[in-house]
Amino acid sequence: MDLPSLVLSATCDDDLVCAWRRPYRDAFRVYTGFIAVAGTVFALVVATMIATHWRSGRVLPVAGVGGFLGVWLTLAWRLHRTALLVGDAGVRVRWLLRTRTIPWSRVSRFRTAPDVLVRERLWIVLIDGRMVRTPVQRASGVFGSVLSDGGTWLRGSRYDTLLDALTGEMRSHGVTPGG
């Protein structure tokens, strides 16, 4: 059993930590996590330089780099955490700059439809007919989609398995899909 499956199947006593989970595995998060960690190490080096050179008067250029790294790390961390999450409270859609939580009582169904950058994206259809865009898309072609917005690419059966899992989550929370 690999680590992500082990983590998802482990019991958790902390409701705050275990309140939300990804209903799919996303290997791309290894790469975005690496970028965030590498940036953190570099930011620590810059912070050390600021701490050791503040008396020499060369703080401004180093502080500028430090400020840039702070913004970059924040964006890298948010990109790393971009996901579609489920929990007892509903469905959480986390994008780079916005997080939205939709209670299960407002979810009508999940569907696949085209979007601006991708051919097939997972959408949440609300009971009033409006649709909420998610970061999950069906991969097409060898390298996924030509364009991407930081979301997750799932191929064929993994995408279909996610749709089935989301429908099962709806039923387990007392919501009839499409109704």
How is 105-147 classified by DSSP, letter by letter?
Answer: GGEEEEEEE--SS-SSEEEEEETTS-EEEEEEEE--STTS-SS
Q: Which CATH number fits domain 83-172: 3.40.30, 2.30.29, 3.40.5, 1.10.10?
A: 2.30.29
Whether 124 contacts 107, CB under 8 Å: yes
Q: What are the residue ranges spanned by the domains of the chain? A: 1-18+25-81, 83-172
18-47 tens-digit pLDDT: 589 989 888 777 887 888 888 888 888 877
SS (H, E, C) 151-172: CEEECHHHHHHHHHHHHHHHHH
Per residue in 125-156, pLDDT tens?
999 999 999 999 888 765 555 556 667 888 88
Do 123 and 111 meet the contact criterion of CB atoms below 8 Å apart? yes
Rounded distance, CA 113 to CA 115, Å? Answer: 7
